[in-house]
Structure 1
Amino acid sequence: MRSEFEKLFQGRIDPWNYSSSYEQTKYERTLALIPDGMKTALEIGCAEGHFTVQLAPRVRTLTACDIADTALERAARRCEALPHVRFIRLDVASDPIPGQLDLIVCSEMLYYLGSVGLLGQVAKKIAHALNRNGYLVMAHMNLLVDDPDRPGFDFQLPFGGRVIGDVFQGIPILRLVKEVRTPLYRIQLFQRISLLQRWLGDRKSESEIIVLNEQSTNLEPAVATHVHWVP
């Protein structure tokens, strides 16, 4: 997987057009879910640092990681004025995840793990890297492979945001706190809970679900061609 992403970043700067209004709106909604007072944070899949530079003011220390060296070099340049941000190469599928974190952000990359089995293993690693009461924020696309009768993208990936969310909700020490659902993606806020909290039933506390039925920003033409809208 590393060689594929290296080739992608070497062939083009900002291959996902993270500066577009669609992506920036998604960033704003993701940032809005992050609680105040986060000290130690990890961003998994930082790419070229477009979100990193916006996340950095919200935390005391931030480690941003990616699998591709080319992406990390560009991200480091983008954030060179931020001394509390550091960058490391990390393959979330095979490398240990640095622990004792108040916040983990992991967006738009878990589809590439390739199987639900590996996704489950990574989900457990991520959950255990959080401090007790620490938070996980994720944003992922809705894909037709998950829900063929709902709006979504037709990208040839094994699963999308719904399956990813279901797997993380199956982790006993994670509780879904809040979810923002849009026609094309969902953003989720999880919190790590203790065994005592689980025994007391905190894990079953009602989650706040916000449903936004309208697509508020225009998609780039190359992206729009991959969207299936339900009549």
Structure 2
Amino acid sequence: MAKHLEYFNQLYEQNDDPWSYADRWYEHRKRAICLSLLLHDQYKKGLELGCSNGIFSQQLAERCQHLVCIDANERAVYLAQQRLSSAAHVKILQKQLPDNFPEDHYDLIMISEIGYYLTRNELLKLIDLCQRNLTDNGMILLCHWRYPIEGFELNGETVHSLFKQEMKLAHYLRLNDKDFLIDVWTKHNNSLADQEGLI
């Protein structure tokens, strides 16, 4: 746990946007793809794990009646709180995963680019918590960079493999981009067309 906290502390000491979320087309495109894969236009309560400086949180806030965003880094949480200060339906909390997981009933859990910063055992605990805190009509979206993260035991491929191995939910889809993976799980296996009575 201490290892990844120090890693992020060093990143945010140097830059308020260490991955260039605001400027890189790669990041804009990836967020747009994630949003396009959400199975509903609106969610009652969403959870974003690892919100960083809140750039993606702004877009998720438009899709959720209530949104809880968490990050372990103090500076990231401050930046996200500033960015979403006018969004009364959004809570941004400083919490470490998986031990301080904000247990509640969520119909959307977004896990983007954080799994490989945990140990294998921490990730397994997180997987269990996500499943236990998902509503009956909820979905989990998992998105990770495919390349190695120096200094950590997991990478995007292993994170998604562990989720696939441990998930007891229905696997709705996988998107294989050359640079990142996206997987979606739901509590039921009905397609969106089926849910809307089209078939």
Q: Which runs of 5+ in 1 are unaligned?
A: 144-152, 194-201, 207-231
* Partner amino acid, structure 2, of 1:80: S
Q: Deviations over 1:169-203 (max 9, x none)?
A: 2235322101111111111111135xxxxxxxx5x
Match of 1:66 among 71, 77, 80: 71
Partner residue, 1:41: 46
Q: TM-score, normalised by structure 1?
A: 0.74
Distance 2:69 2:31 in 1: 16
Q: Secondary structure at the match of 2:35?
A: helix
* Conserved 8 A contact 1:5-1:68: yes
1:53-88 deviation per Cα after TM superposition (whole angstroms, max 9, x unaligned):
011111110011100111111111111121111111
Q: Choose 1 or 2 for highest CA Rg.
A: 1
Q: How far is the alpha carbon of 1:45 from its aligned partner?
A: 0.2
Judge conservation of contact 1:41–1:61 (CA < 8 Å) in 2.
yes
Q: SS of the counterpart of 1:35?
A: coil
Cα deviation for residue 126 of structure 1 reads: 1.4
- On the 8 A contact 1:97/1:125 being kept in 2, the answer is no
CA distance in 1, matches of 2:162, 2:104: 20
- Does 2:161 align with 1:162? no
Structure 2: state its 5+ residue gaps. 192-199
172 and 106 in structure 1: CA distance in 2 versus 1, 3 angstrom threshold: closer
Is residue 143 of structure 2 the alignment partner of residue 139 of structure 1? Answer: yes
1:105 is the counterpart of 2:100:
no
Which AA in structure 2 matches 1:25?
A: R
TM-score (ref. length: structure 2): 0.86
**1:169·1:175 contact (CA, 8 Å) conserved in 2?**
no
Report if the CA contact (8 A) 2:127-2:167 is conserved.
no
How many residue pairs were aligned? 186
Matched with 2:29 is 25
Query: Contact conserved, 2:116 with 2:149, CA < 8 A, in 1?
Result: no
Aligned-residue sequence identity (percent) comes to 25
Describe the SS at the equivalent of 1:51: helix
2:131 equivalent to 1:127: yes
Does the CA contact (< 8 Å) of 1:99 and 1:128 recur in 2? no
